[in-house]
Structure 1
Amino acid sequence: MVTAVEQTVHARLIVTAGLSCDFVARLGYRPEDPFAVRLTFPAEISLDGTEQTWTFARDLLGEGMLAPAGAGDVHVWPCGPHRTMVELHGPEGAAMLRLRSAEVRAFLARSYAAVPEGAEDPRADLASLLVALVGGV
C-alpha cells in the first residue's frame, strides 16, 4: 500500500519590499488524489487564525521548478538555483512565498516514488484490474 507523503518546507511570506515573515509550511501528497499537492500554512500566519491549505496540480509544482508555470490562482517559478517562488491569488488578495528548492525537489521525488508520473490515471491499469476482478475468465 502506498502511503501519503508529507514534508515540511521553510517558507518566507513576502508582504512588501523589505517586509517578510519566515515560517514552516507543509507540502502534502495523497496517492488517492494523484494529480494534486497541498500546501498548508500554519494558523499563526493566516488572516483568520486557522490553518489554511491550497491544493493545486503536482505537475504545476514540478514545472515551476524549471521555468515559470501556472495560470489562474497559482503561479510557480524558479528564483535562482536555491529558491522557488509560489504566488497564490484568492478572494482575500495575493500571497507571494519563497520556498527552498531542495525541500520542494525532495518532496516531489517522494511523491513520484509513491505514484510515478504518468501512472496517476486509475484507468491506466484498468485491464489488470478487470482481470483480477473476474479471475482471469
Structure 2
Amino acid sequence: MSSVIEQSVQARMVASAPRMETLPATLHYDRGDPFAVRMAFPGPATLEGTEVSWEFSRELLATGMETPAGMGDVRVRPFGYDRTVLEFHAVEGIAMVHVRTAELRRFLDRAQELVPVGDEFRFLDLDRDLSELLDGPG
C-alpha cells in the first residue's frame, strides 16, 4: 500500500464576477506527516503563475465540512447541501474556493484507511524530527 494519497478535485474560485471560475486542484496526504493535508493549485490557476500549496490539518478539513472551523490562514465551512468552502488568507488577500463535499469525503475516507484518526502518532518519526530540530539548519 502506498504511503501517499493524491486526489484531483475541481475547485470553483469565488470572485466578485457572477460566474465562478473552475480550477484544478490536488489534495495530498502523506502517511509520513499524518496530521497534515496539502491542497495545491497549479501555476496556470494562480496569480503568480507558479504552483501554490496550502498545508493544514486533516482535522480542520473534516470538522469544516460539518461546521465552520479555523481561525488562521485556512478556514473551512459548509456551503449549502453539497459544497464546502475553503478560505486561504495571505498578505496579498483572501482566496475562497468551493469544492464538492463528496470529493473531500472520499479523500478523507482514503486517508482514514491509510492512517486511522487517533493513530497518527504511530506514523511519526520522532527520532528524525528531534534530530532535525537539535541539529538546526544545515
TM-score of the superposed pair, with normalisation by structure 2: 0.85
Per-residue deviation, 1:119: 0.4
Runs of 4+ in structure 1 displaced over 6 angstroms? none
Q: Aligned residues, how many?
A: 125
Which structure has the larger Rg?
Answer: 1
Distance 2:22 2:65 in 1: 20
As a proportion of its length, which structure holds more strand?
1
| Contact 2:24-2:45 within 8 A present in 1 as well | no
The aligned residue for residue 86 of structure 1 is 86
* SS of residue in 1 equivalent to 2:117: coil
Distance 2:35 2:2 in 1: 15
Q: Aligned runs of 1:106-117 on 2, under 5 Å?
A: 106-117=106-117
The aligned residue for residue 57 of structure 2 is 57
Distance 1:19 1:94 in 2: 18
Per-residue deviation, 1:45: 1.6
Matching of residue 69 in structure 1 with residue 56 in structure 2: no
| Contact 2:3-2:32 within 8 A present in 1 as well | no
The aligned residue for residue 100 of structure 1 is 100
Which consecutive residues of structure 1, in runs of 5 or more, have no partner in the other structure? Answer: 127-137
TM-score of the superposed pair, with normalisation by structure 1: 0.85
The aligned residue for residue 121 of structure 1 is 121
Which consecutive residues of structure 2, in runs of 5 or more, have no partner in the other structure? Answer: 127-138
Distance 2:118 2:17 in 1: 40
Provide, for residues 43-95 of structure 1, a one-character-per-residue CA deviation record: whole Å limited to 9, x for no partner.
11212111111000000000001111111111101112210000110121100
Matching of residue 11 in structure 1 with residue 14 in structure 2: no
CA RMSD, Structure 1 to Structure 2 (Å): 1.8
* SS of residue in 1 equivalent to 2:85: strand
Per-residue deviation, 1:20: 2.4
- Percent of residue pairs identical: 46
